[in-house]
Amino acid sequence: MAHLPAEGAVNSDVELLALVARGDRAAFEQFVSRHEVAVWRVVQALEDDPTRAEDALQETFLAAWRNAASFRGEESARAWLLSIARHAVFRQHRKRSGEPEHVGSLTELGCAAGFGAEPTVDPMDALERRDQILRAFERLSPEDREAIVLRDVAELSAEEAARFAGTSVAAHKSRLHRARLKFAGHLRGDEHVA
């Protein structure tokens, strides 16, 4: 069995996953240590329940351990791992909810976001109220949160975000537009936004 190099030497993710595929626990611990914080941030953005978020985190790394041999290096190990995390969260959501999401037309979403209406609250004041923003964000579906996090927090390009989400660029842009409209509607306190 191959072993990690002396302390201080750094393995690439590809090397670590090759070692993990052969059952090397020390390599797996190093891989987890390297990526745990990033995976946790994405899981928390997609899952608002801390217990389920922890379950998804554990499921992600368990799947990485089991499937390390399938990693081919065609994408970064972090992107591969975040894709596993995304699927873990969405699997939990599908188990809990059998109801389809009400999408709403762009006109409905635009009206709920306040387009064409006189502002009732100064937009800058609304942005300064952290709790209001968090509540509005938590009301979004996991898919909508993901679209916003990928573009507006992680600052991925449309192409990178679409590839991560497993959609076309056009589908991702549409999801992002709707998610931003829903988020704006939630910020305004519109209870009719789905």
Segment 47-84, tens digit of pLDDT: 888 898 999 999 999 999 999 999 988 778 888 898 89
| Helix (H) and strand (E) counts in the chain | 10, 0
Largest Cα span, the chain: 68
Element (H, E) at 34: helix 25-46
Per-residue pLDDT for 16 more than 90? Answer: yes
Per-residue confidence (pLDDT) for residue 19, from 0 to 100: 94
Q: How far apart are CA 83 and CA 94, in angstroms?
A: 16
Quote the crossing angle between the two packed helices 77-96 and 158-165, to the nearest 10°: 50
98-153 per-position pLDDT tens digit: 545 555 666 666 666 666 666 555 555 544 667 777 888 888 888 898 898 888 87
Taken in order of first residue, the domains within the chain and their CATH numbers are: 13-96 (1.10.1740.10), 106-187 (1.10.10.10)
pLDDT band at 171 (very low <50, low <70, confident <90, very high): very high
Contact 140, 148 (CB under 8 A): yes
Could you please report the per-residue DSSP string of 106-117? HHHHHHHHTTTS
Q: Is residue 138 classed exposed, middle or buried when 0-12, 13-18 and 19+ CB atoms within 10 A define those classes?
A: exposed
Average pLDDT over the chain reads 80
Specify the residue for token string 């190099």: 5
How large is the average pLDDT for residues 26-41? 92
Q: What is the pLDDT of residue 47?
A: 84
Q: pLDDT above 70 covers what percent of the chain?
A: 74
**DSSP classification of residue 151:** I
Instruction: Give residue 116's pLDDT.
Output: 61
- Reported confidence tier of residue 10, pLDDT bands at 50, 70, 90: low
Better-predicted residue by pLDDT, 154 or 84 = 84
Among 48, 45, 57, 56, which Cα is nearest to 145's?
Answer: 45
Q: Please answer whether residues 110 and 181 qualify as being in contact, where contact means their C-beta atoms are separated by less than 8 angstroms.
A: yes
Does pTM surpass 0.85?
A: no
The per-residue pLDDT for 134 is 80
